[in-house]
Each structure stands twice: as C-alpha cells, then as structure tokens.
Structure 1
Amino acid sequence: MRILISDHPDSMMPDHALEIETLRAGLGPDTAVDVLPYRGDEHEAFLKALRGADALLTAFVTIDDAVMAQAPDLKVISLNSTGYDCVDLEAATRRGIGVCPVGEYCTSDVAEAAVAFVFALHKRLKAYGRRIDNDHVWDFAALEARPRLQDQTLGIFGFGKIGRCIARKLSGLVGEVIVCDPYVGAEAASAGGARLVEKDELLASSDVIVNSMLLTAGTQRYFDEEAFAAMARRPDFVNMSRGMVVDEDALLGALESGRIRGYAADVLADETPDLARHPLIGREDVLLTPHSAFYSSTAMESLERISCENIVHFLRGEKDRVFKLVN
C-alpha cells in the first residue's frame, strides 16, 4: 500500500508525523507514505510520484481527468479541506476513485474568525490603528461614527454548519439575522435564530453581509457588479467561503465607489496570490488573513486525523465509516 501526501508548499502541514502514524496504524506498519511539496513547474515530478499510489492526500492541487489518467492504481483522493472543487468529481466517479473531503473539523474556528472580522470592520480597527501607528493621531472622531451593531441587520449567505454557527455567535449582538440559502426552509432558518429571505432582500436590507456558501459552478463570482450595486445600505462584507465566489474587479469597484464600507476575507481568488501586486493589499478598508480562519491546535489535529482516517476506511472497504464521501 502506497500513499502520497502532496500540496502547494505553503499549504503543507508543518509536520507529517500524525498523518503517517494514523495511516500506518490503520493500514499496517509497512505502508509507504511519500511526502512531496507540489510545485507547478515540476508537475511531471508530481505525476511520477502519483503513479503507483493507492491514495492521495491533498487540499489544493488540481486533480483533473488528465492527472487521474496517469495514476491507474489511485483508489481514493482525501482532501484535508471541506471544499473539493480542485477535483474533477465526474472524472473521479467514472474512474471509480472515491473523493473524501473533511466534512467537519473547524466550524467553530471559522465562525470565530467571522465574528472577529465583523467587529474589526465595524469598529474600523485597521483604520484607527494606521492613524495611531503611522500618523500618530489619537482622535476618536477621525472617522465617521456608525450606529451600534446591535441596531443593524446581519445577512448570511449559506446557512449550513458554518452559517448557523456564525448566526448563533452573533444573534445576541445584532438587531436581526436574515439568511439566504436555497437548500434551507423557513422553519430550519427560524430554528437557527434567523429569518429566511431571497437574495435581493438580503442584499438590499443588510448592514453586514457574511458569505459562507460553498464554491460551486453556480456560485462562482456570485458577488458580481450587479450584486454589489444591490447592497443599498453600504454594508461591511465578509467572505468566509472561497475567493472565487467574489468577482474581485467588481469588489474593488464597490470599495472605490463606497457601495460597500469595508471588506474582510480569509481567502483571495488565487490561492497563491501575488501580494506585492494585488490591488486589495494595503487598503485600510480591507482586512485579509491567509486562509487561516480554521487554524487552531484543536482543528489541526482533527484535520490531519480525519483526512487520514478517511483513506484508511476507504481502502479497507469501510465506506460507511468514511466521514464524508461525495461520490
């Protein structure tokens, strides 16, 4: 049995001891585990390492049909992420390759980051910090006053586990929570402390918007120029989903025109952005973190353990024990 662990260098785990230990404990001490940082200009080296592998553990390496064709022994792709848009699911299914994202390991962590973003934008912490650190200005009135957060409406796109957790954490701190999710009914939204609305109403009625939708073909660039134009209350906008959900050109236009007051995100459209040239970098109305919302010692241990247990259970024929199998 041979397992390949490979991802972009800045997405690799700092240490693979727990992953290797979990794989060998479940599949046997003789299980071969290869670790290869993925570099786009060394794609052939990745394909060579993948040949003969029974399983691949990754998060952001693109695995399309052409890649799978080079790996005739591949049986399962385990993703140490909740998303799986980097994998051609149709091709994997046709080839009999299981795809197993980690369904749950960091819901509370991501919700905590969303709450932090909401308050940091609302209280203009970055803008005040710049005035203090750079300009040595100690003046509460240097920025325009805003209404209290408890008097404002929070709109959440995507009311799955993360969206519901965000609503729970913020429900007592805002005036109202409204949500938009085509897969959630009014009763389920109400049980989660929110009121279900359509997209247009949420865009027009929210003072703060948090996005926690999955990235799918239907949600790519969901927040485009038309969506930003519909944000009538000039909201703060927080993206806790994937970067490709937001049209960054339209976002930049909305910031420049004042259609939104501020933007915070844990992601950018490019998972390996050119920070020196990115137009969102350096703005005092933008807060960014390097896809780190999930990052806690608790979440990291769960992420490594669950993603490797998914491989173990799948290869042992225990598909009912795989945490999440999407094909």
Structure 2
Amino acid sequence: MSRQFDHVTLGQRVRFGTGAAAGHLAAEVERLGARRVLLIGGRTAAEVAARIDVAARCTDVAPHVPVENAERARAVAAESGADLLVCVGGGSTTGLAKAVALTTGLPIVAVPTTYAGSEATNVWGLTEAARKTTGVDDRVLPVTVVYDAALTSSMPLDLSIASGCNALAHCVDSLWAPRADPINQALAVEGARALAAGLRSISKDPGDLDGREQTLYGAYLAAVAFASAGSGLHHKICHVLGGAYNLPHALTHTAVLPYVLAFNGSAAPEAAERIAGVLGGDLASLYDEIGASHVLRGVPDVREAARLVLPSVPPSNPRPVSEDDLAELLSAAQAGLNPTEWSRA
C-alpha cells in the first residue's frame, strides 16, 4: 500500500535528567546568551532558577490564561527589558509564557512540573469573557525544554494521575486529528505505552521516580504528536468547556477522554485497537487500575455546552458529530456511565 503525507516536526532542544533541572537551566541561559531573564512561576521556579540572574519575576498564573493576566505579564516583560522567558510550572505557567512570547517574540525555556505537554507545542490559548481562543504560532514554541522527574514529585497522587491522563488525551487525539499521519501516530502510540506504564507505577508508589520519568517521557512524546497532528474532537470539547465554565484542565480532559475514545472508536477501529494494545486493555479498565475518574463535573447545561462545542468540531473527525451526539456524550460523562457500555447502547 502506498503512503503519501506531509509531516512537520518542530525544532526544539530537550534536556532530560532527574535532579538536574537547575544545572540544565543555567547551561541553557548561558548558551542563549540571555542577560535579563523574566522568571514566570512560584516558589519552585525560584528554587530551580537559583543559579541564574533574574531581572524580573511574574507569579500571576491562572488556569486558561485570562487575557488580563497576559497583558500584565507582557507589561512586566517590557518594563524589565527581558530578553528570555523562563517558566517553571504546569500548563498554565507555560501558557502565560506563551502569551508573552506571542506578542514580544521573546524565546522561552520551559521547565515543566506536570505532564501537561504544552511545553512541546506551538499552540497558545487565551480566555476572555468566558470564551477560550486557541491558535498556532511558532513564536510560542519554547526553544528548550528542561525535564526533571523530581519536580513532578510534589504533585498529589490524584493530580499526578489526572495530569498523566491529560497527556494520554494528546496521544488518543493524535490518531485521528486533522493532520494525523504515520509519524505522529507512531509517536502517539509509544507515548501511550510509556504513559500507561508510568501511571501504573505512580498509582502504586507516588514516590517512584522511575515511574515519573516514564510518565514524563510519555508526556513529551504525546505533546510532540499532538503538535504535529493538531486538535481533534477531544481537545475541541475540553477547550470550550474549560473556557466557558472555568473547569480544571487536567480533570476535565481525564473525564471526557474515555467517552470520546468510545464515540470515535467504532469509526476508527484500527486506531482504537492500537491504543488498547499498548494500554493492555480498554481505557476504562486502566482508569479503574490507576484510580482515575471519568466523571465530568461543573457543566451546568450540557445542551448549551454542546451548542458551544459544535462549531469547533473538526470536519475530519472519523465520525460525524451532531449537537445531539455531543449532548449525549457530555451527559454520559456527567453520569459517569461505563464508557464502553455507553458506546454500545
């Protein structure tokens, strides 16, 4: 069978090493020749940045990056004469750095402390008046990512599991997103394998650094696949819900994912089988094993939510999607129905 596709791999340096974040960050700041660093993040950021000179700090981090926060951070960057952005934290922290880079063109060195994956993508998001807008721009892709599994150890177990499942959503969506191709699909499948193994280890022993390394590695592969493949149905749903109802990012992705996989699986059986193969069974069983929740909370009106989501559904989704389908999917997630049994009903 002949293959034809157009694949883009984003250029980025990755420095991976447990316990090495401070040293790797200092080396990158020196390599880039930065003299006026704007540090974005909280207490952990200050610890990781102990070996570099910081011109200014910004701790104004909030989920879904409100436009007001972005404007304040941009002002700090301008006032301090920043020539490099260093962000240390989860997806919201990386998102704030991206918002600054979007309008200033300043380079970013990202040091993730969760499995969000934003650090490996050129996707940005801003929220204004309860509506989240996302876009793609190479200016927001961090030039370097510094990964250190020890920095994820402070996450409580439930957040570690949810953050890992959020990464797993990048893998699943990448199998049928608008720009899916054999390369990003291969990355997604390997990412899902690593994430499943890592999350199983973390669920048994939250202090298992080998498990956290495996999960961090899987989260990176997942994000690279997602950056190449684009946003599929799952991410479109979760971005709209997050912006409209200010829902917690990782928990929302975790809750919705099994239902999107069940919904699309019948129309994309090969993709569903590849995911099941590396997970060692269906996603609902993995959730039971690692203690993840597929109950969606915080959506007051599923019919309204369905109307908001529908315009953003990718036309390339493996299965046609109606407003009724979306309302049904969200209702099932709210009720916490067994995703596999729901899809067969």
The structure showing larger relative contact order (alpha-carbon pairs under 8 Å, at least 6 residues apart) is 1
Q: Same fold, TM exceeding 0.5?
A: no
Range class of TM-score, shorter chain: 0.3 to 0.5
What is the TM-score with the length of structure 1 in the denominator? 0.35
Instruction: Return the index of the structure with the highest Cα Rg.
Output: 1
Between structures 1 and 2, the one with greater strand share? 1
